Amino acid sequence: MTGQPSFRATAVACIAYALAMAYVESAVVVYLQLALDGQVGAVFPLRPVDQTNGLIAIEAGREAATIVMIGAVGLLAGRTWLEQLAWSAVAFGVWDVGYYGWLYVFSGWPPSLGTPDILFLLPVPWVGPVWSPMVVSGALVGVGLLAARSLRRGRRVRIAGWHLAAELGGGFLVILSYTLDAGRLMEGGLPGPYPWPIFALGMVVALVAAGDSLLNARPRGGGLTWE
């Protein structure tokens, strides 16, 4: 299509944006921690102030703003709503991996991929070892790029009912693995052993569905078909 950036150019632009966005966010985290005489990554046990004053509302707004920024990139990069979703997944994944990468460059944290971290705060704290969101993000980048390339080449992506159910179910299991410790954390406790089998099952279920959908992409016309 005349004037339409190539797949490669779009991928480079999305990845560059996400890495720059990750740089800004990780730099802000370092600044805030140092300004508050804190230590980067020292989040446990949760401080009561984090749950009782206006900081929780600010954090919720920051998380929402992040999703808006990522969604806007996908909206501008894709030609159809499914391709827009694919590019948003790519941007989200690169941003998340880049965040931890820049944070390590700036502060040496996290010291290992097994270090637990707060991933989200709403509606309850999401906690998991650093490697787990990086696995999710890596999957988002890989599936997103494959889907965007397939759609950009004019192929039709078939999404059956079981694909959608598996994606939602797998996502639920991943979120469950992050939130099982929420009650203890909100009471000032420390994270327990991470339930990685639940996480692994959720990832396998979701990736099998995504892989089957992409492998069955059909030529002749871009877009999405439901069964």
Q: Residue 220 above 60 pLDDT?
A: no
Quote the mean pLDDT of the chain.
85
CA dist 211 to 89, 106, 159, 217, Å?
15, 36, 11, 10
Q: What is the pLDDT of residue 68?
A: 93
- Using pLDDT thresholds of 50, 70 and 90, give the confidence band for residue 160: confident
Q: Return the minimum-mean-pLDDT range out of 35-39, 49-53, 83-87, 196-200.
A: 49-53
User: Is there a contact between 186 and 51 (Cβ–Cβ < 8 Å)?
Assistant: yes
User: Which 3 state secondary structure label does DSSP give 192?
Assistant: coil
**Tokens encoding 36:** 């508050």
**Tokens encoding 162:** 């079981």
- pTM equals 0.86
Strand partners, 223: 156
Mean pLDDT value of segment 123-138: 93
**Tokens encoding 139:** 């999957």
Q: Residue 151 above 80 pLDDT?
A: yes
Mean pLDDT value of segment 126-144: 95
Residue with the two structure tokens 């004053």: 53
**Tokens encoding 74:** 């996908």
Q: Residue 58 above 90 pLDDT?
A: no
CA nearest 215: which of 161, 155, 141?
Answer: 155
Work out the angle at residue 46's Cα, subtended by the Cα atoms of residues 45 and 47, and round it to the nearest 5 degrees.
Answer: 110
CA nearest 70: which of 21, 10, 119?
Answer: 21
Mean pLDDT value of segment 156-183: 91
